[in-house]
Copies of this chain bind each other. A is one copy, B any other.
Amino acid sequence: MSLPPEFALVARHFRGLAGEGALGLSDDAALLSPPAGRELVLAADAMVEGVHYLPDDPPETIGRKLLRVNLSDLAAMGAEPLAYLMTTALPRGTPPAWLEGFAAGLAADQREFGLHVLGGDTVSTPGPACLSLTIIGTVPPGTALRRGGARPGDDLWVSGTIGDGALGLAVLQGRVPADADGHLARRYRLPEPRLGLGRALRGLAHAAMDVSDGLAQDLGHLCRAAGLGAVLELARVPLSPAAAARVAEEPGWLPRLATGGDDYELLFAASSADSARIEAAARAAGTSATRIGQFTEGPPEVRVLGPDEGAMTLPQGGWSHF
């Protein structure tokens, strides 16, 4: 008695990703004994072909991006990864090579970030592929970073560099010339969850979130959560050499990088007394942290200062699905 095709597919491609408690992905559900003395941190993000990734992106990076956008949510809470569940709705006739690549990407990132799959579901769809992942992490109780909590006068920080993802998408769509070493496209396809920095910010940052829908729009969430305003100084926003070169060529890109999305960097608030500790924590985590503005007394509003230090209006708020 052979397995029906759907289950054979799961067995061939996904069973190797299963860890403790997954019951070989062949039971109705998975079992998880929560680690003693830890609080669980849970998030779920979906990705749709043609919306969150390009149909011809390599399947390896699609799998890794799906995991990494969720890991970025854990990073924003200061949490450590534990396990995940995943559902995939795929067109009938998805080539086995695509599934192999997708699973290989997940396997690589499971090793890199130390987590495993617990369960999920594989179904067919007449539409584009639709991927959903629920991630589970842990923190010591009461230490999770939160979005609310910024205080007037706090510095506004961001990790890494901003705008590479938006430019990478533009490169892949042929809207801007490619950079020589492919940095921009790589950043679009393979975000870098700032897990080490997130952990180090526990007890140090007053508020944190990850930047996924555009720096300016996401800063608005931090402002609303705290009932504060913020000043964002565009000239201080950290750019990669490739992004800086593009802005030098076309200055109109600068405000668009602040609204472009797909950054997956950490945006956070901290007391200016802690600047040195934050810079050291970022270095230790293999990234950088840059002060790009300040929180102010309310109302919750983002004031953007342009490169000439004058107030400016950004071309659009940020990414919205609806």
Pick from B77, B220, B299: contact of A29, CB under 8 Å? B77
B132–A87 CB distance below 8 A: yes
Q: Is the interface of A mostly helix, strand, loop or mixed?
A: mixed
Q: A223: which B residues are within 8 A, CB to CB?
A: 1
A88-B132 Cα distance, complex, nearest whole Å: 9
From 265 to 322 in chain A, residues with beta carbon under 8 angstroms from any chain B beta carbon are 299-302, 317-318, 320-322
Most chain B CB within a 10 A radius of its CB, from A51, A77, A134, A301? A134
Query: Restricting to A94-150, which residues have a CB under 8 Å from any CB of B?
Result: 118-128, 130, 132, 134-135, 137, 141, 144, 146-147
CB distance from A60 to the nearest CB of B (A): 21
Q: Is A174 an interface residue (CB 8 A)?
A: no
Asked if residues A119 and B302 are in contact (CB atoms below 8 Å), the reply is: no
Shortest CB–CB separation between residue A74 and chain B, in angstroms? 6
Chain A, 31-71, CB within 8 A of any chain B CB = 31-34, 39-48, 50-52
Closest chain B residue to A145, Cβ basis: B28
Shortest A229–chain B CB gap in Å is: 9
- Give the number of residues in A that approach B within 8 Å (Cβ atoms): 79
Bits for A229-264, please: 1 = Cβ < 8 Å to B, else 0. 000000000000000000000000000000000000
| B50 contacts A126, C-beta separation under 8 Å | yes
The verdict on A158 contacting chain B, using a C-beta distance below 8 Å, is: no
- Chain B residue numbers with a CB within 8 Å of A176 are none
A31 touches B26 (CB 8 A): no
- Quick one: which of B4, B47, B85, B224 contacts A134, CB cutoff 8 A? B85
Q: Is the CB of B137 within 8 A of A134?
A: no
Shortest distance from the beta carbon of A322 to any chain B beta carbon, whole Å: 5
User: Copy number of this protein in the oligomer?
Assistant: 2
Q: Select the residue from A26, A33, A46 with max chain B CB neighbours within 10 A.
A: A46
CB pair A322 B124 closer than 8 Å: yes
Q: How far in angstroms is the closest Cβ of chain B from A188?
A: 17
Asked whether B28 lies within 8 Å of A120 as measured between CB atoms, the reply is: no
A87 touches B46 (CB 8 A): yes
Neighbour of A127 across the interface among B43, B127, B147, CB < 8 A: B127
Establish whether residues B124 and A42, one from each chain, have CB atoms under 8 Å apart when the complex forms.
Answer: no
Docked-complex contact A31 and B41, CB < 8 angstroms = yes
Closest to A136 in B: B42
Q: Is A225 an interface residue (CB 8 A)?
A: yes
Instruction: Tell me whether B43 and A89 are in contact (CB under 8 A).
Output: no
* Chain A positions near chain B (C-beta within 8 angstroms): 1, 3-7, 9, 23, 26-34, 39-48, 50-52, 73-74, 76-77, 79, 85-89, 92, 118-128, 130, 132, 134-135, 137, 141, 144, 146-147, 209-210, 213, 217, 220-221, 223-225, 299-302, 317-318, 320-322
Q: List 25 A-B contacts (CB under 8 A).
A: A1-B220, A1-B300, A1-B301, A1-B302, A9-B322, A23-B146, A27-B147, A28-B76, A29-B73, A31-B40, A31-B41, A31-B144, A32-B40, A44-B120, A44-B121, A44-B134, A46-B89, A46-B130, A48-B126, A48-B127, A51-B124, A52-B123, A92-B321, A126-B127, A126-B128
